[in-house]
């Protein structure tokens, strides 16, 4: 816990109008040290807001889900305006233009919180309790309230817990090794051997593939290119060059001057005038940091190209999982002078089916890559219509490991029904892909847990694997699950693909990449559609209605219908599932995994 020094104890005993805190453990700790319980705690934390003993106010108390939807839907046009403004300036590259639009997208996570600050807060005194900077990913957990310098009276104290109990690192070591080999397949073993060979012996060859990052599809395609005479070099773990020759601040003075009217229009529409200067300063400082990182990576790749023991010949390839970042853009900028092309590979199915995904188009792989390998026809259509895109799109179907889920050998302790949760709170820096606050997401999840507790079959609840914790506290959903008798919590933090084979029926509830794994597992699949929580697109909805078991959360008799369905004998459910087979084949072909052309590699090589 935080060291008890005199200054902190004095700070918590001062008079405040409001407390800003997103950690239940932190606020309870300071209550014990003398912090007044009469002061309203403004928060987005579901655990605090669900605690009747705390006098709290939802940060988003006056934002309806329709207003949330409007805010999110307006992001794409804003990022397009930024992109066009930078492209119009001859001194800046296409890579610098796309980086500005990507940051403009991410900036809206912070703008969303700033939009909740009311005019009457200007003269109020705030105590802000943050998680100590020494805690893992604290910079992502903590809001940026203490960066507000103008018109905001704030005292900041930090909380350092003894144990970091609420986050589990990725438990890949808990997956049976045989299952990892089966899912990865021969091509993954082959690919790893090739990487090891060329990393060890530093072979010079004419045709290179530089691997910046990986995913399942990239590994399969890289193995095929090797058989065509291309050799992969692993650049995933290179260290960034910190020294810079350029004065980055001076370079981008003109860019900020031209962007200023666009950013001001966006900011002034949503936030109070008193907080506009802070918002604008934050936008500029963070974009400048991104450009500094971009220039550092440019220096890094220049050094690799000029000093590496491996001589990279012209006309090679850059392979990346997610190149829409400073690192990917720097690699493209440096190596394109040697006629290298950037190839990106679809990670999962989401834009094809999600009605709330358009806002991220600036970060879409097709926005930055020369070639974009995709799973299906619908993904190709999205890439071709993307206003940021100049990619050539190659449809190659989903990776083979999707169809290998049924081959798992080492069994996991999974109940007959597997519930794949996609509850991933926004917190301070998570994506805003839903039209719901974290409290609403928590309430939605709790309602589903209560429903599953009533059915006549055992359920395994699989939490969504987090890369970092959104809040430092035990989630209210977790507390409820621990009391359930019919639901077993899956305790490891790894992907569902390793356990789908051991269930008899799968339930999902958001239009994300989890859908593709569930569908291609060939298990009966129930999808719960919620119009404010990553809902299906209209055309996807129609296809899902025919091909799987689709339930609408907003249906007045939703609970009754779903409980009645799940209480049926499994053989009856399976018969109904088989009756939908033809429609499901069409659904998969259009939205999940389309049959590729046999010669799709030749479109690139010849």
Any domain includes 148 = no
Q: What's the half-sphere exposure (Cβ side, CA atoms, 13 Å) at 287?
A: 29
What does the block give as tokens for 568? 């049926």
Any domain includes 450 = yes
Any domain includes 272 = no
What does the block give as tokens for 129? 């309790």
Prediction pTM value: 0.92
What does the block give as tokens for 517? 């794994």
Q: How many helices (H) and strands (E) does the chain have?
A: 22, 17
Question: Where are any strands of DSSP class E within 47-187?
Answer: 56-58, 125-131, 153-159
What does the block give as tokens for 334? 């440096």
Rg (CA), the chain: 25
Any domain includes 513 = yes
Regions of the chain short of the pLDDT cut 70: 1-6, 162-173, 201-206, 308-311, 410, 598, 606
Residues 6+ apart with CB under 8 A from 428: 22, 109, 113, 140, 141, 142, 143, 144, 470
Question: For the range 244-247, what are the long-range contacts, defined as Cβ-Cβ under 8 Å and sequence gap of 24 or more?
Answer: 244/292, 244/295, 244/296, 244/299, 245/299, 246/295
What does the block give as tokens for 445? 């999840």
The Cα 428–Cα 408 span in angstroms is 37
Residues 6+ apart with CB under 8 A from 478: 463, 489
The Cα 72–Cα 435 span in angstroms is 8
**Residue 506's closest CA among 521, 484, 487?**
521
pLDDT digits (tens, 9 = 90+) for 161-197: 866 555 555 666 677 888 888 888 888 999 998 888 8
Any domain includes 73 = no
Any domain includes 517 = yes
The enclosing domain of 445 has a CATH number of: 3.40.50.2000
Domain count, the chain: 1
Q: Which domain does 530 fall in, by range?
A: 411-592
Any domain includes 302 = no
Any domain includes 344 = no
DSSP state of 588: I
pLDDT of residue 262: 97
The Cα 19–Cα 151 span in angstroms is 16
Orientation of helix 65-73 relative to helix 94-114, angle to 10°:
160
What does the block give as tokens for 495? 């992907």
The Cα 430–Cα 423 span in angstroms is 12
pLDDT of residue 1: 39
């Amino acid at each position: 816990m935080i060291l008890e020094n005199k200054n902190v104890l004095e700070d918590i005993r001062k008079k405040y109008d409001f407390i800003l805190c997103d950690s239940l453990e932190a606020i309870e700790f300071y209550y014990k040290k003398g912090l007044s319980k009469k002061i309203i705690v403004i928060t987005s934390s579901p655990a605090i807001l669900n605690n009747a003993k705390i006098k709290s106010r939802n940060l988003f108390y006056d934002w309806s889900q329709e207003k949330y939807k409007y805010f999110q839907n307006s992001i794409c046009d804003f990022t397009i305006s930024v992109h066009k403004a930078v492209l119009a300036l001859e001194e800046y590259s296409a890579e610098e233009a796309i980086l500005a639009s990507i940051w403009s997208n991410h900036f809206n996570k912070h703008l969303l919180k700033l939009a909740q600050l009311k005019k009457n807060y200007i003269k109020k005194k705030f105590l802000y309790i943050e998680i100590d900077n020494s805690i893992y990913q604290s910079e992502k957990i903590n809001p940026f309230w203490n960066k507000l310098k103008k018109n905001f009276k704030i005292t900041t104290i930090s909380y350092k817990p003894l144990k970091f109990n609420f986050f589990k690192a990725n438990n890949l070591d808990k997956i049976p090794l045989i299952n990892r080999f089966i899912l990865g397949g021969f091509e993954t073993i082959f690919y790893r051997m090739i990487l090891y060979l060329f990393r060890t012996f530093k072979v010079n060859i004419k045709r290179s593939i530089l691997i910046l990052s990986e995913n399942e599809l990239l590994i399969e395609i890289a193995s095929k290119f090797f058989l065509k005479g291309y050799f992969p070099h692993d650049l995933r773990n290179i260290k960034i060059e910190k020294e810079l020759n350029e004065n980055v601040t001076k370079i981008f003075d003109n860019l900020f001057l031209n962007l200023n009217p666009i950013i001001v229009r966006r900011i002034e529409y949503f936030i109070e005038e008193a907080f506009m200067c802070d918002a604008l300063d934050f936008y500029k400082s963070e974009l400048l940091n991104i450009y500094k990182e971009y220039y550092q990576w440019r220096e890094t790749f220049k050094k690799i190209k000029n000093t590496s023991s491996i001589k990279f010949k012209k006309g090679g390839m850059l392979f990346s999982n997610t190149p829409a970042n400073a690192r990917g853009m720097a690699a493209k900028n440096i190596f394109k002078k040697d006629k290298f092309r950037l190839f990106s590979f679809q990670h999962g199915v989401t834009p094809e089916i999600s009605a709330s995904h358009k806002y991220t188009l600036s970060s879409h792989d097709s926005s930055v890559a020369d070639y974009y390998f995709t799973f299906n026809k619908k993904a190709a259509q999205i890439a071709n219509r993307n206003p940021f895109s100049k990619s050539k799109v190659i449809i190659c179907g989903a990776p083979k490991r999707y169809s290998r889920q049924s081959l798992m050998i080492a069994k996991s302790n999974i109940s007959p029904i597997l519930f794949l949760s996609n509850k991933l709170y926004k917190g301070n820096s998570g994506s805003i892909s839903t039209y719901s606050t974290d409290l609403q997401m928590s309430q939605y999840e709790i309602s589903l847990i209560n429903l599953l507790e009533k059915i006549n079959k055992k359920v395994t609840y699989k939490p969504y694997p987090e890369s970092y914790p959104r809040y430092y506290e035990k989630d209210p959903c977790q507390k409820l699950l621990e009391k359930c008798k019919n639901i077993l919590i899956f305790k490891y933090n790894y992907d569902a693909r390793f356990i789908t084979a051991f269930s008899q029926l799968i339930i999902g509830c958001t239009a994300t990449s989890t859908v593709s794994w569930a569908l291609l597992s060939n298990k009966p699949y129930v999808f719960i559609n919620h119009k404010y929580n990553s809902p299906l697109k209209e055309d996807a909805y129609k296809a899902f209605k025919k091909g799987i078991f689709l339930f609408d959360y907003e249906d007045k008799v939703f609970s009754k219908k779903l409980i009645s369905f799940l209480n049926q004998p499994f053989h009856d459910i399976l018969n109904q599932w088989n009756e939908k087979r033809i429609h499901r084949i069409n659904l998969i072909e259009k939205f999940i995994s389309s049959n590729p052309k046999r010669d799709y590699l030749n479109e690139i090589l010849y």
